[in-house]
Amino acid sequence: MRVIMLGPPGSGKGTQGERIASRYGVPHISSGELFRDEVTRQTETGKTLQRYLDAGDLVPDDLVLSLVMDRVIAAQAEGGWVLDGFPRTVPQAEAAAKAAADVGMSAQAVVYLEVPPEVLADRLADRGEGRADDSAQVARHRLEVFTEYTRPLLDYYTKRGILVRIDASPPVDAVSEAIFAVLDRIDG
Ligand code: AP5
Protein backbone atom coordinates (compact mmCIF):
# COMPACT_ATOMS: atom_id res chain seq x y z
CA MET A 1 0.00 0.00 0.00
CA ARG A 2 1.30 3.44 -0.90
CA VAL A 3 -0.74 6.31 0.49
CA ILE A 4 -0.18 10.03 0.89
CA MET A 5 -2.06 11.86 3.68
CA LEU A 6 -3.09 15.38 2.82
CA GLY A 7 -4.93 17.83 5.03
CA PRO A 8 -4.67 21.02 7.05
CA PRO A 9 -2.99 21.12 10.48
CA GLY A 10 -5.10 19.16 12.96
CA SER A 11 -7.12 17.29 10.33
CA GLY A 12 -5.87 13.93 11.66
CA LYS A 13 -3.06 13.01 9.24
CA GLY A 14 -0.91 11.59 12.04
CA THR A 15 -3.78 9.83 13.84
CA GLN A 16 -5.18 8.22 10.70
CA GLY A 17 -1.76 7.73 9.10
CA GLU A 18 -0.67 5.46 11.97
CA ARG A 19 -3.87 3.43 11.72
CA ILE A 20 -3.50 2.98 7.96
CA ALA A 21 0.14 1.96 8.35
CA SER A 22 -0.77 -0.62 10.97
CA ARG A 23 -3.72 -2.05 8.97
CA TYR A 24 -1.69 -2.53 5.78
CA GLY A 25 1.64 -3.34 7.43
CA VAL A 26 3.72 -0.55 5.93
CA PRO A 27 5.89 2.16 7.55
CA HIS A 28 4.31 5.46 8.59
CA ILE A 29 6.65 8.29 7.61
CA SER A 30 5.79 11.63 9.21
CA SER A 31 7.95 14.54 8.07
CA GLY A 32 6.84 16.62 11.08
CA GLU A 33 7.84 13.87 13.54
CA LEU A 34 11.14 13.40 11.76
CA PHE A 35 11.87 17.13 12.04
CA ARG A 36 10.75 17.38 15.68
CA ASP A 37 13.06 14.47 16.51
CA GLU A 38 16.02 16.37 14.99
CA VAL A 39 15.04 19.42 17.05
CA THR A 40 14.80 17.39 20.28
CA ARG A 41 18.21 15.85 19.67
CA GLN A 42 19.60 19.37 19.02
CA THR A 43 21.49 18.25 15.93
CA GLU A 44 22.86 20.96 13.64
CA THR A 45 20.02 20.21 11.22
CA GLY A 46 17.60 20.35 14.16
CA LYS A 47 18.73 23.86 15.01
CA THR A 48 17.99 24.99 11.46
CA LEU A 49 14.63 23.18 11.41
CA GLN A 50 13.51 24.67 14.72
CA ARG A 51 13.26 28.18 13.28
CA TYR A 52 10.80 27.03 10.64
CA LEU A 53 8.78 24.78 12.94
CA ASP A 54 8.41 27.37 15.69
CA ALA A 55 7.20 29.96 13.19
CA GLY A 56 4.86 27.50 11.43
CA ASP A 57 6.69 28.12 8.15
CA LEU A 58 7.52 25.48 5.58
CA VAL A 59 10.98 23.98 5.72
CA PRO A 60 12.68 24.69 2.36
CA ASP A 61 12.02 22.01 -0.26
CA ASP A 62 15.67 21.00 -0.75
CA LEU A 63 16.17 20.40 2.99
CA VAL A 64 12.88 18.45 3.21
CA LEU A 65 13.85 16.26 0.27
CA SER A 66 17.32 15.58 1.68
CA LEU A 67 15.79 14.41 4.98
CA VAL A 68 12.73 12.50 3.78
CA MET A 69 13.42 10.90 0.41
CA ASP A 70 15.90 8.28 1.67
CA ARG A 71 13.29 7.01 4.12
CA VAL A 72 10.66 6.80 1.43
CA ILE A 73 12.98 4.84 -0.83
CA ALA A 74 13.96 2.50 2.06
CA ALA A 75 10.26 1.93 2.85
CA GLN A 76 9.58 0.70 -0.69
CA ALA A 77 11.50 -2.45 0.27
CA GLU A 78 8.95 -3.00 3.08
CA GLY A 79 6.05 -2.97 0.63
CA GLY A 80 5.09 0.68 0.62
CA TRP A 81 4.45 3.63 2.89
CA VAL A 82 2.04 6.06 4.41
CA LEU A 83 3.42 9.54 3.89
CA ASP A 84 2.15 12.07 6.44
CA GLY A 85 3.03 15.72 5.90
CA PHE A 86 5.04 15.08 2.75
CA PRO A 87 4.72 16.08 -0.08
CA ARG A 88 3.47 19.47 0.99
CA THR A 89 4.30 21.63 -2.05
CA VAL A 90 4.06 21.03 -5.78
CA PRO A 91 7.88 20.84 -6.19
CA GLN A 92 8.01 18.22 -3.40
CA ALA A 93 5.23 16.26 -5.11
CA GLU A 94 7.08 16.35 -8.41
CA ALA A 95 10.34 15.17 -6.82
CA ALA A 96 8.54 12.37 -4.95
CA ALA A 97 6.66 11.28 -8.06
CA LYS A 98 9.87 11.10 -10.07
CA ALA A 99 11.68 9.03 -7.43
CA ALA A 100 8.67 6.71 -7.09
CA ALA A 101 8.23 6.29 -10.85
CA ASP A 102 11.94 5.46 -11.21
CA VAL A 103 11.31 2.32 -9.16
CA GLY A 104 7.75 1.73 -10.39
CA MET A 105 6.11 2.48 -7.04
CA SER A 106 3.87 5.52 -7.45
CA ALA A 107 1.26 6.55 -4.86
CA GLN A 108 -1.97 4.53 -5.12
CA ALA A 109 -4.13 7.04 -3.25
CA VAL A 110 -3.95 10.49 -1.74
CA VAL A 111 -6.29 10.72 1.25
CA TYR A 112 -7.47 14.30 1.76
CA LEU A 113 -8.93 14.89 5.22
CA GLU A 114 -11.52 17.67 5.10
CA VAL A 115 -12.29 19.49 8.35
CA PRO A 116 -13.78 22.99 8.86
CA PRO A 117 -11.25 25.58 10.15
CA GLU A 118 -13.06 26.17 13.47
CA VAL A 119 -12.83 22.44 14.30
CA LEU A 120 -9.11 22.44 13.44
CA ALA A 121 -8.43 25.33 15.81
CA ASP A 122 -10.22 23.50 18.66
CA ARG A 123 -8.31 20.26 18.03
CA LEU A 124 -4.92 21.98 18.08
CA ALA A 125 -5.84 24.00 21.18
CA ASP A 126 -6.94 20.78 22.94
CA ARG A 127 -4.00 18.61 21.89
CA GLY A 128 -2.18 19.25 25.15
CA GLU A 129 1.18 17.82 24.06
CA GLY A 130 2.80 21.21 24.40
CA ARG A 131 3.79 21.49 20.76
CA ALA A 132 5.36 24.93 20.36
CA ASP A 133 3.56 25.47 17.06
CA ASP A 134 0.05 24.88 18.49
CA SER A 135 -0.31 28.40 19.95
CA ALA A 136 -3.35 30.13 18.44
CA GLN A 137 -1.21 32.56 16.45
CA VAL A 138 1.17 29.98 14.95
CA ALA A 139 -1.68 27.52 14.31
CA ARG A 140 -3.48 30.26 12.32
CA HIS A 141 -0.33 30.85 10.30
CA ARG A 142 0.09 27.11 9.62
CA LEU A 143 -3.42 27.07 8.18
CA GLU A 144 -2.58 30.04 5.93
CA VAL A 145 0.57 28.26 4.78
CA PHE A 146 -1.49 25.15 4.03
CA THR A 147 -3.95 27.19 1.96
CA GLU A 148 -1.23 28.90 -0.06
CA TYR A 149 1.30 26.10 -0.64
CA THR A 150 -0.36 22.74 0.02
CA ARG A 151 -3.92 23.24 -1.25
CA PRO A 152 -2.68 23.36 -4.88
CA LEU A 153 -1.82 19.68 -4.43
CA LEU A 154 -5.56 18.92 -4.46
CA ASP A 155 -5.67 19.89 -8.14
CA TYR A 156 -2.35 18.19 -8.79
CA TYR A 157 -3.59 14.82 -7.49
CA THR A 158 -7.14 15.20 -8.81
CA LYS A 159 -5.65 15.51 -12.30
CA ARG A 160 -3.78 12.26 -11.67
CA GLY A 161 -7.01 10.56 -10.60
CA ILE A 162 -5.84 9.44 -7.16
CA LEU A 163 -7.37 12.01 -4.77
CA VAL A 164 -9.83 10.59 -2.23
CA ARG A 165 -11.81 13.14 -0.18
CA ILE A 166 -12.79 12.06 3.32
CA ASP A 167 -14.98 14.01 5.75
CA ALA A 168 -12.66 13.99 8.76
CA SER A 169 -14.90 15.87 11.21
CA PRO A 170 -16.60 12.78 12.74
CA PRO A 171 -14.94 10.84 15.60
CA VAL A 172 -11.61 9.10 14.92
CA ASP A 173 -13.04 5.56 14.47
CA ALA A 174 -15.68 6.71 11.99
CA VAL A 175 -13.04 8.51 9.92
CA SER A 176 -10.83 5.39 9.92
CA GLU A 177 -13.75 3.27 8.70
CA ALA A 178 -14.43 5.67 5.85
CA ILE A 179 -10.76 5.59 4.83
CA PHE A 180 -10.44 1.79 5.09
CA ALA A 181 -13.57 1.32 2.97
CA VAL A 182 -11.77 3.08 0.12
CA LEU A 183 -8.27 1.68 0.67
CA ASP A 184 -9.46 -1.94 1.08
CA ARG A 185 -10.78 -1.76 -2.47
CA ILE A 186 -7.40 -0.56 -3.73
CA ASP A 187 -5.51 -3.15 -1.67
CA GLY A 188 -7.76 -6.02 -2.66
P1 AP5 B 1 3.33 18.35 10.83
O2 AP5 B 1 3.81 17.60 11.99
O3 AP5 B 1 3.06 17.62 9.55
O4 AP5 B 1 2.07 19.17 11.32
P5 AP5 B 1 0.70 19.62 10.65
O6 AP5 B 1 0.52 19.34 9.20
O7 AP5 B 1 0.53 21.02 11.06
O8 AP5 B 1 -0.30 18.62 11.28
P9 AP5 B 1 -0.52 18.21 12.79
O10 AP5 B 1 0.51 17.22 13.20
O11 AP5 B 1 -0.72 19.40 13.69
O12 AP5 B 1 -1.95 17.58 12.64
P13 AP5 B 1 -2.41 16.25 11.92
O14 AP5 B 1 -3.17 16.57 10.68
O15 AP5 B 1 -1.31 15.25 11.83
O16 AP5 B 1 -3.49 15.80 13.00
P17 AP5 B 1 -3.26 14.87 14.28
O18 AP5 B 1 -3.53 13.46 13.94
O19 AP5 B 1 -1.98 15.24 14.95
O20 AP5 B 1 4.35 19.53 10.44
C21 AP5 B 1 4.83 20.41 11.45
C22 AP5 B 1 5.76 21.43 10.81
O23 AP5 B 1 6.87 20.76 10.19
C24 AP5 B 1 5.16 22.29 9.69
O25 AP5 B 1 4.49 23.42 10.20
C26 AP5 B 1 6.42 22.68 8.90
O27 AP5 B 1 7.10 23.69 9.57
C28 AP5 B 1 7.27 21.41 8.98
N29 AP5 B 1 7.05 20.47 7.87
C30 AP5 B 1 6.58 19.19 7.99
N31 AP5 B 1 6.55 18.59 6.80
C32 AP5 B 1 7.00 19.50 5.90
C33 AP5 B 1 7.20 19.47 4.48
N34 AP5 B 1 6.91 18.37 3.77
N35 AP5 B 1 7.66 20.58 3.87
C36 AP5 B 1 7.96 21.70 4.59
N37 AP5 B 1 7.81 21.79 5.92
C38 AP5 B 1 7.33 20.70 6.57
O39 AP5 B 1 -4.51 15.37 15.17
C40 AP5 B 1 -4.52 16.65 15.78
C41 AP5 B 1 -5.30 16.54 17.12
O42 AP5 B 1 -6.66 16.26 16.82
C43 AP5 B 1 -4.80 15.41 18.02
O44 AP5 B 1 -4.90 15.80 19.35
C45 AP5 B 1 -5.78 14.26 17.72
O46 AP5 B 1 -5.94 13.39 18.80
C47 AP5 B 1 -7.07 15.03 17.41
N48 AP5 B 1 -7.92 14.35 16.42
C49 AP5 B 1 -7.52 13.75 15.26
N50 AP5 B 1 -8.58 13.27 14.59
C51 AP5 B 1 -9.68 13.59 15.35
C52 AP5 B 1 -11.08 13.35 15.18
N53 AP5 B 1 -11.58 12.71 14.10
N54 AP5 B 1 -11.93 13.82 16.12
C55 AP5 B 1 -11.45 14.49 17.22
N56 AP5 B 1 -10.12 14.73 17.44
C57 AP5 B 1 -9.25 14.28 16.51
Q: Where are the domains of the chain?
A: 2-187
Predicted pLDDT of residue 92: 96
**Average pLDDT per block of 10 residues along the chain, 188 residues long:** 97 98 96 97 97 97 95 88 97 91 88 95 88 93 97 97 98 98 91
Ligand 1 pocket at CB < 6 A: 7, 9-15, 31-32, 35, 52-53, 56-59, 64, 85-86, 88, 92, 123, 127, 133, 142, 168, 171-172, 175
Distance 16 CA to ligand 1 centre (A): 11
* pTM assigned to the model: 0.97
Residues in CB range of 138: below 8 A, 6 or more apart:
54, 55, 56, 132
Predicted pLDDT of residue 32: 97
Question: In CATH, what is the architecture of 2-187?
Answer: 3-Layer(aba) Sandwich (3.40)
